[in-house]
Amino acid sequence: MAKWDLVSCAEWKSNFLAEIEAQPHTTAKGDAFVGKVLQIYYNLSESDAIDATDCAGANDHGVDALFIFPEEEDNDRFALAVQGKYGTASKGLQVYTEAEKFFTALTSAREGLHITYAIDKLAGVLRGGGLVQYIILTVDLLNSAQQKSLENIKKIAYADFGEKLVVEAINLGDVYAALGTKNDDVIVDLPCQVVQVTDAFVGLAKLTDMYDMMRNYAKQTGGAVDRIYDYNLRKYIKRRRGSVNDGIYDTLENYPHRFLAYNNGITMICNAARQFESGLRLKNPYIVNGCQTTRTLYDFMERRFSGSHTLTDFDARQFQEAFMAVKVLVVKDMDGDDSYAKNITRYSNKQNAIGKRDFIALEAKYKELKTHIGKMGYFLEIQKGEYDALPKSKRTKYPSPTHLINSFEATLFYAAGILGKPHLAFGRSGYFAPGGIEYDKIVEDLTPDDLFVPWMIAKQGERLGYAAKAQRDASHETAHHVQTRYLFLYIFFRLVREMVAKILLEKNDNQVTENMYRILMVLKADYNQHPKPEHPFAQLLTITDEVVFTLISLAEEEEGYKDRASFLESKELIEGTRINPIISPAKLKVYRLANQIQQIMSNQQHIVA
C-alpha cells in the first residue's frame, strides 16, 4: 500500500481501537495501546515495544513504558518514558497531577533514593548528562484545560530539570499523521543562490531565509514544523552536552559567519521546484539530511528573535550574512517502487555519518602507531573503510580478522584492561575518542603494545564467547559472556599484572606493564606451537572466565541488582568490596602458573629480570 493511500483517520482509529479492545483485560489493553504506538510512532521493533512495557503496573509513578535508545557516538544517552492513558484512564485525565507524580519520583531517584526500576534508570540517564523525553499518550487530543496544564508542566520540567527533560503529549491523531497520511500541499519559497543540474539544485541559502522558510512551513501545517522531517531517518534529538546539536548551537552563538565552513549543509527532496529570480519555490519539501542542523537553527532563531529579524538589528545582520549549503532534489513520486526518495535519505545520511571515533584518522599519534604496528605484521585501521580500499596484495599480507586491528576498538580494550576502566569502555566509549574527556589522558604516552596486546587477548576472549555480538539467549553456562568482554579484559590483566609483579618483585608500574606485554606475547607464541588446555596461557584465559562467571552470577542474585547493563557501566563493578573476595582465590591459581611461565620464558631465551 502506498504511503498516501491509507484509510481515513476515523477508519484507521476505529480499526486500531478494535485491536486494542480485543485484549483480554484492562492491563493487557493498556500495554497493547502503548506498545503499538511505540512501534508506529517511534519505530521500535515489536519485541522492544513489548519489553518497554514491562515496567507498567501499580505504583509505577507515571511510567507505563521505558525505552533507552542505544548510545550514539556523538551523543549522550536518550531515554523515552511513556505514560499511557487508555479507556477509563483517559477520561478526566488530570495532566498536572500525573506529571507531578512523575517529577517527584524522578527528583527523589536523582538524589539517590530507590523508587522503581524504571524511575531509577531514568534518573541514571539524567545523572549521566542524557536526555529524557516524557510522553503523555492519549486516545484523543487534550482539551483546552488539559493543554493549559501541559504548558504549565513543561515550564516546571524546565525549571527542575533544564533541557534534560522534555515533556510532550501525543494522541492517536498524531500517530495517524506519522503514517504519512495525505495532507494538503505545502508551497514555500526559499530565497537562495542556486545552480540547476537536471532535477537537482545546488546552492547557498542565508540562515535567516532558511528559518523563514521553516516558519512558513509550520504555519501551513498547523505549527507542525517537524513534519518536514517525515522522510528523514530520525527526528530532532534536542540539544545535549557534547552532541552534534551542541556544536551547532555554539557555531550559531559565537561564529555564525563561519557556519558555511563548519557545517556540511542539508539535502531536501520535494515534489516540484521552480526557480525564480531570488530563489526556489518548493512543493511539499522534506529535509532528508540535516534535521539536526535546521531544527537547531529554528529553535535558536525562535528564542533569539521570536519570529522577527530586521536588517537594523545588529545580531540579525550577522545571520543575514551567514550561509548554509543546500541541495534540493525533485522527486515526483516519493513513494514510488524505485525507492528513489528512500535511497536519497539512506545514502546521504550514511555518507555523512561521522562520529568522534572517526577523527582518529586525523590524529598524528595514531598515524605513528599505525606505522609501528605495520612493522609487527598487523594492519591498524585508523580510517573507516581503508582496509577494504587496499589492493588485494596488501589485504593478503594482512588477512582479516587475524591481522586487522580496529584502532578505536583496540583503544577501548586498552582502557578496559590496562587502565582498569571497563565500566567506561562499556557505557561511555565516546570518552576515549578524540574530544572525549579521557582521550587526552591516554593518547600522549600510548604505545604500539598498548593497542596490540589487549587486542590480542580480546581476540582470545572471542574464542571463549566474549564477542560484541554474544547471543542474549545463551544457555546458563555461557550467559555470562553477553556484554562482558571489557570486564573479561579487566580481570585478565589484573590477574596477570599481579602475577608478573610477584615474579619480578618490581614496584614500578610501567616496568611491570612492559614485562607483562613481553611475557604475554611469548606465552601466546608458545601456545600457538603447543595448543593444549593445560598450557599456562590457556589456563590464564580459563581462570579469568571462571571469575567473570562467578562475579556475574553472584551479582544477579543480589537484591539490589537491576540489570546487567546498569551493573557493567557502574563503578561498583570494580570496587574492591565486590570483586576482591572473588578474585583472591583466582590469584592463587595464577601464582601457581609462575614456574611454568618462567620456564617458557627461559626456553625462549627471554630473561625475566
Residue 385 has pLDDT above 70, yes or no: no
* pLDDT tens digit sequence for 207-226: 999 999 998 887 777 566 77
Other C-beta atoms closer than 10 Å to the C-beta of 313 total 14
> What is the dihedral sign for C-alpha 166, 262, 255, 204?
negative
Mean predicted lDDT score pLDDT of the chain: 81
Residue 496 C-alpha cell reads as: 596477570
Residue 234 has pLDDT above 60, yes or no: no
Top pLDDT among 251 and 543 is at: 543
User: Which helix (H) or strand (E) element contains residue 250?
Assistant: helix 244-254
Residue 406 C-alpha cell reads as: 580496529
Question: Measured between alpha carbons, how far is 470 from 410 in angstroms, rounded to an integer?
Answer: 18
Q: Terminal CA-to-CA distance of the chain, rounded, Å?
A: 75
* DSSP secondary structure, 94-134, as one string: -HHHHHHHHHHHHHHHHTT----HHHHHHHHHHHTT-EEEE
Tell me the one-letter amino acid at 518.
R
- Phi and psi angles of residue 80, each rounded to the nearest 5 degrees, phi first: -115, 120
Closest CA to 170 of 93, 82, 46, 239: 82
pLDDT at 388: 65
Asked if 205 contacts 190 with a C-beta cutoff of 8 angstroms, the reply is: yes
Top pLDDT among 553 and 603 is at: 553
* pLDDT tens digit sequence for 408-436: 889 999 999 999 999 998 878 888 887 77
Top pLDDT among 503 and 542 is at: 542
Q: How confident is the model at residue 189 (pLDDT cuts 50, 70, 90)?
A: very high
Residue 204 has pLDDT above 90, yes or no: yes
Closest CA to 496 of 599, 594, 603: 594
Q: Label residues 390-404 b or e (16+ Cβ within 10 Å = b).
A: eeeeebeebeeeeee
Residue 171 has pLDDT above 80, yes or no: yes
Residue 308 has pLDDT above 60, yes or no: no
**∠ CA 189-192-197, rounded to 5°:** 100
Question: Measured between alpha carbons, how far is 20 from 30 in angstroms, rounded to an integer?
Answer: 8
* pLDDT tens digit sequence for 49-76: 777 887 776 777 888 888 887 665 445 5
Tell me the one-letter amino acid at 210.
M
pLDDT at 53: 81
Residue 13 has pLDDT above 70, yes or no: yes
* pLDDT tens digit sequence for 470-497: 655 556 678 888 889 999 999 999 999 9
pLDDT at 609: 32
Residue 338 has pLDDT above 70, yes or no: no
Top pLDDT among 401 and 326 is at: 326
Domains of the chain: 9-178 (3.40.91), 187-350 (no CATH), 356-603 (no CATH)
DSSP structural state of residue 72: P
Over residues 146-168, the mean pLDDT reads 82
Tell me the one-letter amino acid at 394.
K
Asked if 177 contacts 227 with a C-beta cutoff of 8 angstroms, the reply is: yes
Question: Measured between alpha carbons, how far is 188 from 281 in angstroms, rounded to an integer?
Answer: 6
pLDDT at 353: 42
Residue 206 C-alpha cell reads as: 542565508
pLDDT at 182: 52
* pLDDT tens digit sequence for 426-474: 878 888 887 778 888 888 889 999 999 999 999 999 999 998 766 555 5
**Sequence-ordered alpha helix ranges (H) in 128-171:** 144-161
Specify the pTM: 0.53
Asked if 200 contacts 327 with a C-beta cutoff of 8 angstroms, the reply is: yes
pLDDT at 585: 92
pLDDT at 3: 39
- Phi and psi angles of residue 272, each rounded to the nearest 5 degrees, phi first: -160, 155
Residue 476 C-alpha cell reads as: 546458563
Top pLDDT among 532 and 392 is at: 532
| Segment of 204-208, 224-228, 382-386, 576-580 carrying the highest mean pLDDT | 204-208
Question: Measured between alpha carbons, how far is 431 from 530 in angstroms, rounded to an integer?
Answer: 39
Question: Measured between alpha carbons, how far is 538 from 522 in angstroms, rounded to an integer?
Answer: 13
Over residues 96-113, the mean pLDDT reads 88
pLDDT at 193: 93
